[in-house]
Structure 1
Amino acid sequence: MKPEASQDSYQAAQQSDRKQVVSGVDELHQIVQLASTVSGCKTAMIHLLNGGKLDIYAGRNWEPSSQHHELPFCKKVLASDHSIVIKDTSVELDGERSCLSKAPWNFKFMAGFPIRSKQNAPLGVLSIMDKSQHRLTVEQMESLDILSKHAAGTIFMGTATSELHKLSDEHQKIKKAYDDSEAFYHNLVESLPQHIIRKDTKGEFTFANQNFCKAIGKTSQEILGKTDFDLFPTHLAAKYQEDDRVVMESLQKIEITEENVGLNETKSYVHVIKTPIFDPSGKVVGTQGIFWDVTDKKKTEYELTLERRLLRSLLETIPDHVYFKDKKSQFIRCSRELSDRLGLKDPSAAEGKTDFHFFSEEHAKPAFQDDMEIIRTGQPIINKIEKETWRNGEVGWVLTSKMPYKDEDGNIIGTFGVSKDISKLIQTEEKLRKTEQKYRDIFEQAVEGIFQSTPEGRYIEANPALARIYGYKSTAALLGSLTNIQQQLYVDPSRRQEFARLMKEDGEVHEFESEIYRKDGRKIWIAETARSVRDDEGKTLYYEGIVEDISERKQAEAALQYARDAAMESNRLKSVFLANMSHEIRTPMNGIIGMSSLLRQTTLSEDQVYFADTIESSALGLLRLINDILDFSKIESGKMTIENEPFNFAENVEQTVSLLADQAQTKGLEFILDIDCETPSMVLGDRIRIQQVLTNLIGNAIKFTHAGEVRIKIAPQSHQNGICWLKFQVIDSGIGIKPEAREDIFEAFIQADNSMARKYGGTGLGLAITRQLVELMKGRLRLESETGKGSCFWFTLPLEAKRLRQSRKKQPTYEWSGQKILIIEPNDHCQEALAPILRNYQMDYHFVDKGRRGLTELSKEHHDSKPYHYVIVNAALPDQSGLEFCQMFNALQFSPKPEVILMSNFGNRLSKAHLKKHGVSMVVNKPVTQRSLTRGFRRICQVDKTGLDTQFLSISDTSSLVIQSLQTAEMPNQQVLIVEDNPVNQSVAEHMLKRLGYQPATADSGEKALEMMQKNHYPIILMDCQMPDLDGYETTKKIREMESCEQSGSQHPCRIIAMTANSMDDDRQKCLDAGMDDYVSKPVLLPTLSTALKNATSNSVPIEKNDCDQKISTEHKPEQSGFDNINTDILKQFLNPEGSTKKGILPKLVQMFCEKEIPKRLNEMNAAMDTGSKDKLIRSAHSFKGSANNMGAQKLADLCSELESSADQITEDQTLKLINLIKNESKATKQSLQQFLASVK
Structure 2
Amino acid sequence: MNYSPAPVSKDRKVLRRIDFGAARTSVTGVLAALAVYVLIAWAGRLYQDFEGLALGLGLMVLVVSAYRLLIVARFDTLYASGPARWRTLFGVGLLAHACVWGAIFGSVTVLHGVGFNFFAVALYNIGVTTGLSGAWMASLRSRQVYIALMFVPAIIALAATDVPQGWLLALLLAIYAGYLYRMFASLHDTFWHALARVRRPTASAPAGLPRSGQDIQLSLVYRLAQELRTPMNSMLGMLALLDETELTDEQKEYHQVAAQSGRLSLSLIDDVLDYSRILTGRIALNPDFFDVREALEQALDAYGHIAESKGVELTAVLKHDLPRRVRGDRERIMQVLNNLLSNAVKFSDQGEIRLDVDFQGDNDGDGLLQLRVTDQGVGMTPEQATSLFDDPFQAPEADNPAARRGGFGLLVCKGLADAMAGRIGVESTPGEGSCFWFELPMQAQPYISERTDLRRVLRDQHLLVVGAASGTAAMLGEEMQALDANSEVIDDYDAVLGVLREGQREGQRQLLYLDTWARREAALNLCRAVAADPALAAVQVILGVSVDERSQPSVQKLVREQGLPVLTRPLHRRALRLLLSQLYGLDDPLATELQFAEFDDRTQRKDYRLLLVENDHASELVLRGMLAKLGYPLKSVSDGEAALALMQRETFDLVLLDCTLPGMDGFAVASAIRERERAEASPQQVALDTLPRVPVIGVSADIMGGAQARCFAAGMDDVLGKPLQLDQLETVLRHWLPATPSQKEKQ
User: TM-score, structure 2 length as denominator?
Assistant: 0.47
Q: Which has the higher strand share?
A: 1
Which structure would you say has the larger Rg? Answer: 1
Q: Which has the higher helix share?
A: 2
Q: More relative contact order in 1 or in 2 (CA 8 Å, sep 6+)?
A: 2
User: TM-score, structure 1 length as denominator?
Assistant: 0.29
